[in-house]
Amino acid sequence: MDLKDYNIDMKKIPKHVAIIMDGNGRWAKKRLMPRTAGHKVGVERVRDIIKAVDKLNIKYLTLYAFSTENWKRPSDEVGVLMQLLANYLKKEIDELDRKNVRIRVLGELDRIPKKVREEIEKAIIRTKDNDNIVLNIALNYGSRLEIIRAVKNIVEDCSNEKLDIERLDEEKFKEYLYTEDQPDPDLMIRTSGEQRLSNFLLYQLAYSEFIFTETAWPDFTEDEFFKAIELYQNRNRRFGDIK
Ligand code: FPP
């Protein structure tokens, strides 16, 4: 199927799409494979979705790759996830750069293994001036911690007189989040049937449309993504208004 086979209005494309890539483990288990096999196939879907985002001219894509809670998983699985991310960046960085993708990380890199961290830092620096797509990788990310971090920085800036508390409003507060100057997601997709936010972008998703699909992330192809965009375009976004 080609983009023209879908009922997508190119004038109503969401600016920012955020995705909770869930279900890798269950997908693998169903096939009697180790959970990590699901993560490996999941990386292929990351590749597909970035291509689809490029075709649709979506400007911001946020992928939930690893939460602050994911450290509780067995260390082998954590190790594989970190390795997959490093390999992905090593292998794909030329292509991402060619597509004019800017890589950013939402989360704290301090706990990320050194080799992986170096790969990420290299990718961030190399792509810092790219301006076609922003790819946010939420890594060691937790939304409550993000908000607490923002509050701490605000208090510090107030005490250094860099910020006047009277000037703190929603727009100003946003600048203290990892997403800083980026627009809020218009659409949040979670794969694999769970209907919850799992500490993902709690502030930024206030007015976003949510799509929950039964499809597990390793099966979430370009076709599934385009269908999600069709669904999104049929929603009526009012932002509290009545029209
Ligand atoms: C959720 O499935 C998925 C994750 C915790 C990791 C997602 C990571 C990748 C797809 C690979 C690396 C990322 C990038 C950006 C290259 P789960 O393990 O929670 O599945 P389950 O709910 O079935 O157990």
Q: How far apart are CA 76 and CA 82, in angstroms?
A: 10
Residue 22 is a catalytic residue: yes
By alpha-carbon position, which residue is closest to atom 3 of ligand 1? 22
Residue 202 Rama label (left phi>0; alpha psi -120 to 50; beta): alpha
CB of 107 closer than 6 A to ligand 1? no
In degrees rounded to 5, what are phi and psi of residue 123? -65, -40
Closest CA to 63 of 79, 78, 90, 81: 81
How much is the pTM?
A: 0.97
Q: Determine whether the shortest distance from the Cβ of 218 to ligand 1 is under 6 A.
A: no
Which protein residue has the closest C-alpha to ligand 1 atom 6? Answer: 65
Residue 9 among the catalytic residues:
no
Task: Calculate how far, in angstroms, residue 132's C-alpha sits from the geometric centre of ligand 1.
Answer: 26
Q: How many CA atoms lie within 13 A of 25 on its CB side?
A: 8
| CB of 46 closer than 6 angstroms to any ligand 1 atom | yes
Residue 199 and residue 217: Cα distance in Å, rounded?
A: 19
Strand partners, 102: 134
What pLDDT tens digit does each residue of the chain (243 aa) get? 899 999 999 999 999 999 999 999 999 999 999 999 999 999 999 999 999 999 999 999 999 999 999 999 999 999 999 999 999 999 999 999 999 999 999 999 999 999 999 999 999 999 999 999 999 999 999 999 999 999 999 999 999 999 999 999 999 999 999 999 999 999 999 999 999 999 999 999 999 999 999 999 999 999 999 999 999 999 977 888 887
The Å distance, Cα 81 to ligand 1 centre, comes to 8
What is d(CA 19, CA 72) in angstroms, rounded to the nearest whole number? Answer: 21
